[in-house]
C-alpha cells in the first residue's frame, strides 16, 4: 500500500447533511494529491449481512420483495441491515435468514465482505453460506413483505450470467457458493 501514497486524499473537514433511519450523509472537504480542494458526498451505513441458503438438493432460498429505490419487485438472497454500528454480522445473517424465510442452518460459513457502492457509500455487506437447513416459521418485520421461493443453484447462476438478476450481493453469493460447493464434490 505504501507505493500508492500519492493517490490518497486528505480529509480537511466533514459536515453532516442528513441523518435518517438507515443511513446518514456527510459532505467532506478533501485535499487532492495535486493540493487542490474538492467536495465528496459520502453515505454512511451501519452495514448489512446476507445469506445464500442451499439445501441438500442444491436449491437456494430466495426472497421476492418490492424495492422502492428501483421501483420493482426483485429476487434476492435473504439480507438485512445491521441494527447498530459494530453489531455482529454473523448474528445479523442468522436473524435475517430466520425472519425472512423461517430457515435455520446447522452450518454457516463466512464467504466474504463486499463494499456495495464504493464511489460514494461505505456500506459493507458480509456474505454467508448456510447449509444443513431446517424449516421453522418465518417472522418478518412489520414493514417487510416478502415471498420465499426456491431455485436450483445452477439456474440462479444461469439467470445471473444472463443478466436476469442484477442484485450484486445475490450474484456474488450465488457464484461463490456454486464455486465452493462444486469444489467440495
Check residue 143 and give its pLDDT.
Answer: 79
* CATH ID of 48-114+124-183, from 3.90.79.10, 3.50.50.60, 3.40.50.261, 3.30.460.10: 3.90.79.10
What are the sequence ranges of the domains in the chain? Answer: 2-45, 48-114+124-183
For the chain, the 3-state helix, strand and coil shares in percent, each to the nearest 5, are 25, 45, 30
Check residue 86 and give its pLDDT.
Answer: 81
| pLDDT tens series, the chain, 185 aa | 568 999 999 999 999 999 998 899 999 999 999 999 999 999 999 999 999 999 999 999 999 999 999 999 999 999 999 988 788 999 999 999 999 999 999 999 999 999 999 999 999 999 999 999 999 887 777 877 889 999 999 999 999 999 999 999 999 999 999 999 999 87
Check residue 138 and give its pLDDT.
Answer: 78
CA-CA distance, 41 to 117, in Å (whole number)? 13
Q: Is 142 a catalytic residue?
A: yes
Check residue 2 and give its pLDDT.
Answer: 67
Helix residue ranges, H only, the chain: 89-101, 153-161, 168-183
Check residue 142 and give its pLDDT.
Answer: 80
- Whole-prediction pTM: 0.92
Out of 5, 142, 144, 155, pick the active-site residue. 142
Check residue 145 and give its pLDDT.
Answer: 87
Between strands 79-81 and 103-115, the pairing is unpaired
Amino acid at each position: 500500500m505504501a507505493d500508492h501514497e500519492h493517490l490518497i486524499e486528505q480529509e480537511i473537514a466533514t459536515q453532516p447533511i442528513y441523518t435518517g433511519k438507515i443511513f446518514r450523509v456527510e459532505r467532506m472537504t478533501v485535499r487532492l494529491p495535486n493540493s487542490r480542494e474538492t467536495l465528496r458526498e459520502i453515505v454512511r451505513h451501519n452495514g448489512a449481512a446476507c445469506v445464500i441458503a442451499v439445501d441438500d438438493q442444491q436449491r437456494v432460498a430466495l426472497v421476492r420483495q418490492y424495492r422502492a429505490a428501483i421501483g420493482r419487485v426483485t429476487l434476492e438472497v435473504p439480507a438485512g441491515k445491521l441494527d447498530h454500528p459494530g453489531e455482529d454480522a454473523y448474528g445479523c445473517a442468522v436473524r435475517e435468514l430466520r425472519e425472512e424465510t423461517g430457515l435455520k442452518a446447522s452450518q454457516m460459513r463466512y464467504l466474504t465482505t463486499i463494499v456495495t457502492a464504493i464511489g460514494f457509500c461505505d456500506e459493507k455487506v458480509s456474505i454467508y453460506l448456510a447449509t444443513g437447513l431446517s424449516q421453522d416459521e418465518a417472522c418478518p418485520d412489520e414493514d417487510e413483505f416478502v415471498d420465499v421461493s426456491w431455485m436450483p443453484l445452477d439456474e440462479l447462476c444461469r439467470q445471473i450470467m444472463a443478466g436476469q438478476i442484477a442484485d450484486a450481493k445475490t450474484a456474488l453469493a450465488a457464484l461463490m457458493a456454486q464455486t465452493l460447493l462444486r469444489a467440495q464434490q
